[in-house]
Structures are given as C-alpha cells and as structure tokens.
Chain A
Amino acid sequence: NAGVTQTPKFRILKIGQSMTLQCAQDMNHNYMYWYRQDPGMGLKLIYYSVGAGITDKGEVPNGYNVSRSTTEDFPLRLELAAPSQTSVYFCASTIGETQYFGPGTRLLVL
C-alpha cells in the first residue's frame, strides 16, 4: 500500500509549455483533490473529484484541467504554462473524513 503517489517530484517548464502532473492512490478512495501551495502560503484547491468520471472546479481552476477515468488516477494538466503557476502541487485523497496528501510536485515556470 503506497498511499498517494505523485510524479514528477520536480520540473522546470518554459512559458507556454504544457505538462501533466500524475497522481495515483492505491487505497480505493473515491475523493481526490489537487491543491497548489505558493511559497510561504496556504493550500488552494484547484480541482477535485468524487469518483471516476466526475470532476469539479475548486477555487483556482484557471489554467488547469483534470480527468478521472479510473478510481486510482487523477492527473492534472497544465496548458500554456505561465510564471504564476510556479508552485508546489499536492494531490490528496479522502476516505471517510481523513485526507491523505501525496509528497508533492515542485514546478518552476521560467
């Protein structure tokens, strides 16, 4: 049981490039989330999913897209990367009330 995993750990993107941040969990959790954490700041919800095939926007969805084709995977897509998307991205999953976070992906857009 690996919990919540994320890849890559770190990535540098040029402005305008695209990439997909991967998130997977092996705990059969229905609820999954993507947060971003800017330096020295709190957690902002980007997108979330309540189950396979169902996704919804959080408070900061602009510039991102998600999909949830399986219970295990919840990738986050960045199209046309901008410097404002420089951040640490955390994926999380929940069963019941407890939310578990992945180790994070540090993204630098230059």
Chain B
Amino acid sequence: NAGVTQTPKFRVLKTGQSMTLLCAQDMNHEYMYWYRQDPGMGLRLIHYSVGEGTTAKGEVPDGYNVSRLKKQNFLLGLESAAPSQTSVYFCASTYQNSPLHFGNGTRLTVT
C-alpha cells in the first residue's frame, strides 16, 4: 500500500517552460488536493477535487491547472512557469471528515 505518491520529487524549470506534476493514491479516496508551501506562508490550497471529473479552485489557483480524469490520479499543470512558482508542492487525499494523507512533496525551482 503506497498511499500518496508524487512524481517527480525534484525539478528545475526555466521561466516560460511547462510541466505536469502527477499525484497518485491507492486508497480509493474521493477527495484530492494540491498545496504549495513557502517559507513563512504555510500550506496554501491551489486546487482540489471532490471526485472523478470534478475540480475546484482553492486559495491560490492562478498560473495552475488541474485534471482528475481518473479517481486515483490528480494532475497539476504549470503552462508557463514563473520564478514565483518556486515552491514545495504537496498533494493530499482523504475521504469525508477524515485526515489528509500527504505525498512526500515535489521541490520545484523556476529560474
């Protein structure tokens, strides 16, 4: 039972490049989330999904897109990376009124 798996673990992008972060969970959870974590800012919600085929904006959605085509996967896309998107990205999943299970994070640097 792997839990929540994020790929890649590390990535360096140049400004303007695009990339997709993949999150996969094997716990049959309905809800999935993407957070970013910056020093002194805490965890901030980017987008989330309450089920397959549905997504919603969180606190800081600008510059990101997401898709939930399969229940077990939640993809986070950066179409044109900016230095302000340098951060640690965490994916999480859960079911109703239960704790979040986090992935190990993706450390992204945009130069």
Are chains A and B native binding partners rather than an unrelated pairing?
no
**Which residues does A use to contact B, with CB under 8 Å?**
none
Where the two chains meet, the residues of B that have a C-beta atom closer than 8 Å to any C-beta of A are none
